C-alpha cells in the first residue's frame, strides 16, 4: 500500500493511492496516518479494503507529510562510505545518530525555506524508515517486524550551523521545512529488499546524487536494532538512513542552495519530491 496525507498544513486527511495512481479518501475509515494506524493489524485492515470503493479525491491537493504526529525524527550520519570520503571523514565504527526536530517536517513538495543567517544550505536524499510498533532492545534478526514502511526523506542541512557553530549537528538540521517526507509511505510488504533501492537528487535539472542503498555501511535491519538499544522507538518515529555522495558540501568547488533553486529527488518505488527554495522572509 501507498498511504499518504493530503490537504492544508495542520488539517491533512488520510488517503491511499489506488492502482491507477489516484488518491482515495480514507477519512471515513481512519482519522489519520500516524502512530495509532501503523501496527500490523491496522495495516492489514486497510489492506483488506478495495481502494475503488473509497471516494476519489478531486483536483490536485497539497500532499502533506506521509506520517503525522511523529515523536522522533532520527538520522544516521556518514552511512555511505563514498559520502564519508567526500566529507573527508572516516567511516564510523558504529552508526552516527543525531536528531532532526519534528517541527522540521513538511510535505514532500512544500517550499524549503533557507533560514535566517544561513550561508551553506545543502541537500541530502535519503531512505526513511517508518516505525510501526514499539521497539526496545530489538534483535537485528527481528528488526524488520517493527517497520511499518518506507518513504523518501530530504535531510536538508545548513552546514555552517552544523559544523562551524560548535556543539551538536541538530542545529544545522532542524530549521522549519528541513524535513520533507513522502509523498507516501510504502508499506514494507511492497519493499522486499530495502538494500536494493536507487536514490537520486537533482538541482535545477542537474543530477548531483545518484546512488543505491546497496552501499550503506549499516543497513535497515541493523539501524532499527541499533537505535532501539539507546531509546524506545515508537509508532510513527522516522529513521533517516543517510545519504549517498553528491551533496553540495562535497562538490569542488562547493555548491549551496540558493533562493529560486528547485530540488527534485526520489527513491526507487517510493515516489518523488519537488521543492522550490526560498529565502526566509520573517513571515
Spell out the domain ranges in the chain: 2-53, 73-279
pLDDT tens for the chain, residues 1 to 283: 999 999 999 999 999 999 999 999 999 999 999 999 999 999 999 999 999 999 999 999 999 999 999 999 999 998 998 777 777 778 889 999 999 999 999 999 999 999 999 999 999 999 999 999 999 999 999 999 999 999 999 999 999 999 999 888 999 999 999 999 999 999 999 999 999 999 999 999 999 999 999 999 999 999 999 999 999 999 999 999 999 999 999 999 999 999 999 999 999 999 999 999 999 998 6
Identify the pLDDT of residue 136.
98
Identify the pLDDT of residue 283.
66
Of 3.90.850.10, 3.40.250.10, 3.20.20.100, 3.30.70.1140, the CATH number of 73-279 is 3.90.850.10
Beta-sheet strands, E only, within the chain: 2-6, 13-17, 23-25, 73-77, 96-100, 105-106, 112-114, 121-122, 125-131, 147-154, 157-158, 179-180, 185-187, 198-203, 206-212, 238-240, 262-267, 271-279
Amino acid at each position: 500500500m501507498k498511504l499518504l496525507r493530503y490537504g492544508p498544513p495542520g488539517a491533512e486527511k488520510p488517503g491511499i493511492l489506488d492502482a491507477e495512481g489516484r488518491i482515495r479518501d480514507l477519512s471515513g475509515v481512519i482519522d489519520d496516518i500516524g502512530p495509532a494506524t501503523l501496527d500490523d493489524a491496522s495495516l492489514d485492515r486497510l489492506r483488506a479494503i478495495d481502494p475503488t470503493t473509497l471516494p476519489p479525491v478531486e483536483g490536485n491537493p497539497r500532499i502533506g507529510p506521509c506520517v503525522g504526529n511523529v515523536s522522533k525524527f532520527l538520522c544516521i550520519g556518514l552511512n555511505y562510505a563514498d559520502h564519508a570520503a567526500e566529507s573527508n571523514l572516516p567511516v564510523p565504527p558504529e552508526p552516527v545518530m543525531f536528531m532532526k526536530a519534528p517541527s522540521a517536517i513538511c510535505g514532500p513538495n512544500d517550499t524549503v525555506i533557507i533560514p535566517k543567517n544561513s550561508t551553506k544550505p545543502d541537500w541530502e536524499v535519503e531512505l526513511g524508515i517508518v516505525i510501526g510498533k514499539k521497539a526496545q532492545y530489538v534483535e537485528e534478526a527481528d528488526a524488520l517486524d517493527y517497520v511499518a514502511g518506507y518513504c523518501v526523506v530530504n535531510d536538508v542541512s545548513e552546514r555552517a550551523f552544523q559544523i562551524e557553530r560548535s556543539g551538536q549537528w541538530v542545529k544545522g538540521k532542524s530549521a522549519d521545512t528541513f524535513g520533507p517526507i513522502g509523498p507516501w509511505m510504502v508499506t514494507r510488504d511492497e519493499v522486499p529488499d530495502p538494500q536494493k533501492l536507487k536514490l537520486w537528487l537533482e538541482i535545477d535539472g542537474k543530477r548531483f546524487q545518484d546512488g543505491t542503498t546497496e552501499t550503506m555501511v549499516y543497513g535497515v535491519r541493523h539501524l532499527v536494532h541499533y537505535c532501539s538499544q539507546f531509546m524506545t522507538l515508537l509508532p510513527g518515529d522516522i529513521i533517516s538512513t543517510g545519504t549517498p555522495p553528491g551533496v553540495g558540501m562535497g562538490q569542488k568547488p562547493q555548491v549551496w542552495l540558493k533562493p529560486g533553486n528547485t530540488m527534485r529527488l526520489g527513491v526507487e518505488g517510493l515516489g518523488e519530491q519537488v521543492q522550490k527554495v526560498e529565502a526566509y522572509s520573517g513571515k
